[in-house]
Amino acid sequence: MKITGLLLVIAVAGFYGCSDKEDAASGEEKTLPIENAGQLGGEMADNVKQGATEAGETASASLGKVADKVDETVDTVESASLEAAVDDSIDPEQIAMGKTIYGKHCMACHAAGVAGAPKLSDAAVWEPRIAQGMDTLYGHAINGFKGSMGYMPPKGGFATLDDDEVKAAVAYMVSASQ
């Protein structure tokens, strides 16, 4: 470790003018006495440390903003009432089951809006869909649908889901998006 540090200091000292080059502005020979090489190496180390600290602070701030946005989205989704329903046929147990199915299967597209999938908790995007009625939403989710706003594969591409599981996931997304 000490040898590496010494080699770095010597290399830096050579780079910064321990040669016979002349200073272009003054015409004077520009040299750096070897006794100042340690100081120069220390100053460079301080500058590198400061730059790394500033870069780390910038990265931390960016990550903090992303984490805050994720927390805000999660809070929005969790605050959606499990008892809220479009009609009386949706019960809280169905919505709770739908939340689990959403987390395992539907979230991959509906969290990011893949292929035009309406994002969970985006009331403005869900409103015209909800206005069509639950039977239409169930039919689109179970049988698949291609519309002007995007594409929904049958059962979201998970053929192993039964119709009741798909309906539960739709009920959950609707309740979380009103």
pLDDT in tens, 26-79: 555 555 455 555 565 566 566 656 665 665 566 556 556 655 654 555 455 444
Residues 67 and 111 occupy one common structural domain: no
pLDDT in tens, 133-164: 999 999 999 999 999 989 999 999 999 999 99
Task: Say whether pLDDT at 117 is over 60.
Answer: yes
Residues 99 and 158 in one domain: yes
pTM of this prediction exceeds 0.75: no
The whole-number pLDDT of residue 113 equals 94
* Mean pLDDT on 84-111: 84
The arithmetic mean of pLDDT across residues 12-37, rounded, is 50
- CA dist 147 and 151 (Å) reads 6
- Which of 43, 72, 101 delimits the end of a domain? 72
Residue 131 and residue 53 in one domain: no
CA–CA dist 85, 120 (Å, integer):
15
Nearest to 109 by CA among 171, 165, 155: 155
Q: Give how many domains the chain has, as a whole number.
A: 2
Q: Per the structure block, which two tokens stand in for 130? A: 């909800």
Same domain, 89 and 158: yes
Residue 22 has pLDDT above 70, yes or no: no
The CATH number linked to 124 is: 1.10.760.10
The answer on 58 and 130 residing in a single domain is no
Stronger pLDDT, 25 or 128, i.e. the higher one: 128
Same structural domain for residues 68 and 85?
Answer: no
Domain extent at residue 88: 81-176
Residues 116 and 143 in one domain: yes
CA proximity to 156, closest of 106, 101, 98, 95: 106
Tokens at residue 105, please?
């299967």
In the structure encoding, which two tokens stand for residue 160, read together? Answer: 């192993």
Q: Verify that 171 and 106 share a domain, yes or no.
A: yes
What is residue 49's predicted lDDT score, i.e. its pLDDT? 63
Residue 149 has a pLDDT of 86
Q: What percent of the chain has pLDDT over 90?
A: 45
Residues 55 and 140 in one domain: no
Q: How far is CA 75 from CA 69, 81, 85, 126, in A?
A: 10, 12, 19, 19
